[in-house]
Structure 1
Amino acid sequence: MKEDAYWIKDTVKAHTKWFEASLPMIASENLMSPLAKEMMISDFHDRYAEGLPGKRYYRGNIYVDEVELKCLELAKKIFKCQFADVRPISGTVANMAVLFALTQPGDTISTPELASGAHISTAPFGAVGMRGLETIHYPWDYKNWNLDVDAAIKFIKKEKPKVAQFGLSVFLFPTPIREIQDALQEAGSVVWYDAAHVLGLIAGGKFQDPLREGVHIISASTHKTFPGPNHGILIGDNLTDELQAKLQKAAFPGVTSSHHLHAMAALAVTMAEYEIYGKQYASQVIKNAKALGSALYEMGLDVMCPHLGFTESHTLAVNVAEQGGGSQVSIDLEKANIICNKNMLPGDTSSVKPSGIRLGTQELTRVGMEESEMEEVARLIYRVVMKKEDQEKVKKDVWELKKDFTKIRYCLNEGEEAYSFHDIF
C-alpha cells in the first residue's frame, strides 16, 4: 500500500535524525562521504556483472569494468599488494571465500576464542563451523589482550593448523605475527588475517602492516575504520597463481553472484579519498580512542589494559559487570542517545549477558571530534553508567555536544551534512 511505503520512508528518516542527535560508538560502523553515497543510488545498483572485468558473463559492463579496474588499482596501491578482489559483498562473505579457497571439511584452523574478541564467523556456529572445520584456539594473554606469544609458538608447532587465522572484533592491539612467524612457517600454515575492524588504520599506516609481517591473505569489510560502503575485500601479496585463482573462484561463483556494483563504485571513491585523507584520519581515530579510554579510567570505569594505554586502535573494551553488566548498560546508554554494544570479555561464558561494552571512536572522529571532545563524551558516559543519572537529562546534553559535530570530515566535499536524508520524491 502507498501508505506503507511512505511510512517506511518516514521511519528511516526518523532513524537518521536520531543518529544525528546521538553519539554513535558502535565500533563496526562509520559514515560514507557524500560522493561515495551518490554511487549507492546510481544505475550501478540495478545491474549485474558476474565474473572478472573483461570476462563478464553479461554484456553492458563497459563502464562497470572501468570502475572496477580503478578500484583494484587503488586497492593494490593503498595496501601495497599485488592481489585484490573487491567482489565479496561483506566481511563475512570475504571470510567465507577464504575458507572455501583454503580449506576442506575436516581441516584444522586455529583462531582466537570468542571471549578473547574473535568474530562470530570463526565460531562453531559461524562460517568456520558451517565449512566443517575443526577449530582450535590460541593460548591467550588476558592481561594484555593478545596472544601469549611463547605459548602460541609451542601451540602452533604442536598442532600444525592448515590455516592460522588472526583478527578480532575487539581489536585493541596489533597481533604479534612477526614474533610467531617462524613457528607458522615450520608448521606450514597458511596465514589469514581478518582486518575488518582495522582496515582503515592499516591503510593509514597507523596499526600494523600484516602483509609485510608474514600474512598471506587479508579479508575485511570496508565500512568500519575504513569509511566506505557495507562491502568486502580480499587482498594479498606474493601469492601463487594457484592460490589467486582459488580465491577468485571462491569469490565468484563460490560465495557471490552479483557483487553489488553500486557498493563497489562507492568503495572505489572511498579509496581515492583515503589516499588523500587516510593517514590524518587514522591517526586522529587512535588519538581519540586513547583520550577517551584515559578519561573514562580517570572517572573510575574499568577500561581494559590501562598499562598499555588502553588501545592502539579505534576500540575500547570496558568491564561494567559491577554497574549491571554489558547488556543493561548498553540499554541505559542508548536511552541517553549514546549508542554502543554489549560485548564478551575474557572469561565470559555468555554472549547474551556479557561483562563488557565495546566503544569505538571512528564515527565521532569522522564528524570532527578530537581529544577535548572525548573528555566530554567520557563525562556523559560516566553520568549514565556510574552516577545512574536520568537518561532523558543526559540525552539533552548529548545533543548540546553533538549539534556542533554533524558535518562530514576527512573526505572530498568536507563540511556537508553527515546525516542528511537524500529526498528524491
Structure 2
Amino acid sequence: MREFEQVFSIIEEHHRLMASSLPLIASENVTSMAVRRCYTSDLGHRYAMGEIGERAYEGCEYIDEIERKAVELTKRLFNAEHANVRPISGTVANIAVYHALTSCGDSIFSLPVECGGHTSHDDTARIRCLNVHFLPFDSERFNIDIDAASRMIREVKPRLIVLGASVFLFPHPVKEIVEIAAEVGANVIYDASHVLGLIAGKQFQDPVKEGADVVTASTHKTFFGPQRAIILCKSELAEKIDYAVMPCVVSNHHLNTLAGYVIACLEMLEFGESYAKQTVRNAKRLAERLYELGMKVVGEAEGFTESHQVVIDVDDGEKAAKTLEKAGIITNRCLLPWSEGKSAGIRIGVQEVTRLGMKGGEMEYIAELISKALDGIDVRSEVVELSKQFNTVKYTFEESHAYSFI
C-alpha cells in the first residue's frame, strides 16, 4: 500500500513542479480539461482494429463515430484529400510512410540532427535499410540551401525527400523541392510535428497547398491535442498509407486519446488562428529581447524566428539547460550546425506559456530571467511568482487550471 501511495505522491510532486515553473520545451504543450477527460474514459480499455464499420472487434459503434469525426475534422482543418488519424506518435507516422513509399536500399534526403532534423528522419529511416543523404544547410539563414540541394537531388535521384524539422525556425522551401522531386520521380514528405498548430492557425506555410505528397505530424506541440499523430496525403497514396499504418505499424490506436484529439480539433477550429498569431508574436518578442540583452540568438539574418521556437547559442547547452532548470525555467539543449557534435544550443518554445495567456510583456520578462539565470543570479522566486499568475488553460471552450491532478 505504501508503494501505491508513493506513485500518486510522485505524480503530485511533478504537477507542483510544473505549476511553479516556466515550461518552455518546444515539443510539449498542455491540454484542456476537456481533452484530459477523454483520457480516463472507457475508450482506453478498448480495441478497434480494422476499418470504420468493418472492425475485427464488436462493440465499436460509437468508436466508429469518433474516428469518423476525427478524419472529417482533420481534412477540414488542413484541406487534405486524405487523412489517417491512427498513428500513436510522430515517429510511428514516419515509419509508416517509409514502409508505404520506399523499398529497402532506396535513397532518401533529410536534414541531419545538427541542422534541426529529427532522429526519425535519419536513424529510424536506416532501420528500413534506406540510404540517408543529408540536405545541404545554410547556417546563416538556418534553412535548406536550395541551390546545393537541387544539384544533389538531381544527382542521387532519391525515392523520398523529407522536409520539416525538430529545430524549426523558418518555413522550408517546399514548392522548390516539390518541383525538383517531380523531375527525379521522388515523393516529398513534410514532417509538421512542431508547427501543426501554426499551420492549422494559418500562421505558417501550408505544406499541403505547396505540394507535399505526404504530411506527418504529432498532435501535441503547437497543436492542442494529446500525444499521438496524423498523416495527410494525396488521394492516390491513401491506400498505401492506410495499409502501412494498420496493420503494419499500429494495432490498437489508443481510442481514449483519439477522442481527445477530436476535442483538440474543435478547439483549433474555434481558437487556433488567434492562438497561433499570439504564439508567433511571442516567439519573435522573446528572441528580440534575448538579442537586446546580448545573447547569441540564432537566425538573426532572417529575423530570428517565424515559428514558436527560439534558439540561442550558449556554447555548452547541457550546462545552460541544467542552470535554467534549477531556476525553474524548463528548456532543452540542442545541437547546432557549427557545434561539431556538441550540444551548444538551447531550444525554447513559447507555445505552452502562450496557451496559459502570456503575451509580449511576459516574453520580455522571461528573456530577462533567462539572461540573469545564465549569469548566475538566483531568479527562482521570480519564476514562481510569474507562474502563479498564469496557470489557466486558455483558447478552449472551458478554461481550467493547467496543472491540477485529477
Q: Does 1:261 align with 2:255?
A: yes
For 1:254 and 1:307, the matched residues in 2 are separated by 44
Asked if the contact 2:224–2:267 (Cα under 8 Å) also holds between the matched residues in 1, the reply is no
Q: Does 1:48 align with 2:47?
A: yes
Q: 2:137 aligns with which of 115, 137, 140?
A: 140
User: How far did residue 22 of structure 1 move?
Assistant: 0.4
1:302 is matched with 296
Unaligned runs of 5+ in 2: none
Identity across aligned pairs (percent)?
A: 43
Alpha-carbon displacement from aligned partner over 1:163-222 (angstroms, at most 9, x marks no partner)? 011110001000011133321110111010111000011111110010111200011100
Q: Does 1:84 align with 2:83?
A: yes
1:328 is matched with 319
2:15 is matched with 16
Q: Aligned ranges for residues 27-106 of structure 1 at < 5 Å?
A: 27-106=26-105
For 1:330 and 1:23, the matched residues in 2 are separated by 13
2:160 is matched with 163
Query: Which one-letter code corresponds to 2:388 in the other structure?
Result: K
Asked if the contact 2:140–2:301 (Cα under 8 Å) also holds between the matched residues in 1, the reply is no
Query: Which one-letter code corresponds to 1:43 in the other structure?
Result: D
Q: 1:409 aligns with which of 391, 394, 398?
A: 394
For 1:162 and 1:197, the matched residues in 2 are separated by 24
For 1:293 and 1:210, the matched residues in 2 are separated by 25
SS at match of 2:193: coil
SS at match of 2:401: coil
Moved more, 96-105 or 356-365: 96-105
Q: Does 1:359 align with 2:348?
A: yes
Give the structure-2-normalised TM-score.
0.99
Query: Which one-letter code corresponds to 1:57 in the other structure?
Result: A
For 2:139 and 2:183, the matched residues in 1 are separated by 26
SS at match of 2:253: coil
1:397 is matched with 382
For 1:406 and 1:213, the matched residues in 2 are separated by 38
Q: Does 1:420 align with 2:404?
A: yes
For 1:380 and 1:250, the matched residues in 2 are separated by 47
Query: Which one-letter code corresponds to 2:318 in the other structure?
Result: S
Query: Which one-letter code corresponds to 1:214 in the other structure?
Result: G
SS at match of 1:346: coil
Q: Does 1:377 align with 2:399?
A: no
Query: Which one-letter code corresponds to 1:193 in the other structure?
Result: Y
SS at match of 1:311: coil
User: RMSD in angstroms over aligned alpha carbons?
Assistant: 0.9
1:291 is matched with 285
Q: 1:246 aligns with which of 240, 245, 250?
A: 240
For 2:357 and 2:301, the matched residues in 1 are separated by 28
Query: Which one-letter code corresponds to 2:313 in the other structure?
Result: N
User: How far did residue 295 of structure 1 move?
Assistant: 0.4
Give the structure-1-normalised TM-score.
0.94
Across the two proteins, how many residue pairs are aligned to each other?
406
